[in-house]
């Protein structure tokens, strides 16, 4: 089994992992995963050729959330609906990965609280007609994954990109 260092030889301080765009994207996904979950511990700059191996949990953690979010975005764009299955898959995926990666109960509770807060706030928006029910559930499931640490950035960027997309859809 190859180590993470052998697969992704990179300079973590420059955000450039290689000249290959795919390798760079995967390397940045590893960095994001390490930032959010903290339990994914490796640093290419300090590892030798026998660094920690990339586990299946790490690969699932990197691929599951973005894949489900991309599916939700394309579904919403094309059909204007977001299936409950996507939100359920995000919640189940978080639960499995949190347990498998050894996330503390306190951290899981804080992530769950972030999801609950967002669900209440977006449900109020849904009742007022400001957003759809699928959007509210997806935002809550996303908040579960991100926790309070990254929630503000997510809300800011999702609002900005969502607003621009809405204006483009209305205009064209």
pTM of the model: 0.68
Express as a percent the part of the chain with pLDDT over 90: 48
pLDDT in tens, 43-84: 444 444 444 555 777 777 788 999 999 999 999 888 989 999
Q: How many residues does the chain have?
A: 172
Which residues neighbour 27 within 8 Å (Cβ) at sequence distance 6 or greater? Answer: 8, 10, 17, 18
pLDDT tens profile 35-54? 655 544 444 444 444 445 55
Cα R_g (the chain), whole angstroms: 18
DSSP states of 126-171: HHTTSS-HHHHHHHHHHHHHHHHHHHHHHHHHHHHHHHHHHHHHHH
- Range from 22-26, 71-75, 99-103, 104-108 carrying the lowest mean pLDDT: 22-26
Give dist(CA 6, CA 24) in Å, integer.
Answer: 14
């Amino acid at each position: 089994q190859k180590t993470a260092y052998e697969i992704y030889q990179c300079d973590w301080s420059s955000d450039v992992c290689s000249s290959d765009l795919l390798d760079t994207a995967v390397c940045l996904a590893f960095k994001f995963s390490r930032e959010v979950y903290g339990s994914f511990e490796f640093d290419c700059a300090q590892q030798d050729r026998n660094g920690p191996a990339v586990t299946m949990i790490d690969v699932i953690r990197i691929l599951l959330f973005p894949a489900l979010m991309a599916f939700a975005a394309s579904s919403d764009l094309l059909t204007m609906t977001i299936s409950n299955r996507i939100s359920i898959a995000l919640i189940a995926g978080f639960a499995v990965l949190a347990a498998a990666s050894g996330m503390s109960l306190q951290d899981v509770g804080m992530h769950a609280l972030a999801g609950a807060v967002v669900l209440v706030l977006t449900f109020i928006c849904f009742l007022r007609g400001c957003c759809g029910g699928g959007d509210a559930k997806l935002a809550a499931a996303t908040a579960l994954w991100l926790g309070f640490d990254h929630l503000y950035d997510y809300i800011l960027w999702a609002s900005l990109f969502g607003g621009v997309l809405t204006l483009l859809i209305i205009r064209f």
